[in-house]
Amino acid sequence: MPAPPTTGTPEPPRRTRRGDERDAQIRAHATALFLERGYNGVSIDDILREVGGSKTNVYSFYGGKDGLFLAVMEATIKELVQPMLQVRVTGLPLEMGLLTFAETLLSVLLQQRHLAFQRLVIAEALRHPQIGSSWYANGPAATHAILERFLREQQALGRVRPQIDPAATAVLFHDMVIFDLLNRAMMAIDGGPTQADIAATIRRAVEITTMAIGTPAQ
């Protein structure tokens, strides 16, 4: 009788309650440190020094530093995306919808946690392409879809000209709102954009978009 097939990665041992608690601490600390100092700026010993526990935890469950990194990055994607999935624009007038969308988006993307995350994704995109794909699919692409649905709805109500492509317009509006502010925040130009910068950018993006796609009557 043949032995059961050997799995490529050996099964991690099942955990005790203590193990679960340690693991949660390790993940939380690892996330904070990676975001703060980057992948190479953090050693496994750094993580464990403050948390306690031992390398056994990391190596038997994640296989190594890379495994731990991937796990915490995936979790951070889910966490960051959360507020965007809860934005409610259905039923609002065109301008109000765009405004609400833009404000929610920027409140997520300009927070320090996201800026650090973005840096990390980009820095490691070559070594870990799956993180980049996962982020694009769950972040920007998901956000595009939400706005596209709203624009389509507005179009059905006759508030957006029929010849407009909702998908393409969603991307353009999204980019107008985000890019320069994000760029400046990432490069820490003059300490990043102010609340006034943010408000002005949103106002202008909404203005230019409604002028271009809204039906004249509106």
- Long-range pairs for 109-116: beta carbons < 8 A, 24 or more residues apart: 109/178, 109/181, 109/182, 110/181, 110/182, 110/185, 110/192, 110/193, 110/198, 113/35, 113/80, 114/80, 115/182, 115/185, 115/186, 116/35, 116/36
How many residues touch its own copies (CB under 8 A)?
42
Which residue has 């994000």 as its token pair?
182
Cα gap 61→23, rounded to integer Å: 9
Least separation in angstroms between CB 130 and DNA: 17
| Residue 71 binds DNA, judged by CB under 7 A | no
36-75: contacts with its own copies (CB under 8 A): 38, 40
Q: Report, in Å, the least distance between residue 171 CB and its own copies.
A: 5
Binds DNA by CB under 7 A, chosen from 28, 32, 38, 60: 60
Taking residues 134 to 153 in sequence order and writing x for each that binds its own copies by CB under 8 A, - otherwise, the string is -xx---x-------------
Q: Which residues bind its own copies (CB under 8 A)?
A: 38, 40, 118-119, 121-123, 125-126, 129, 132-133, 135-136, 140, 165, 168-169, 171-172, 174-176, 178-180, 183-184, 186-189, 200-201, 204-205, 207-209, 211-213
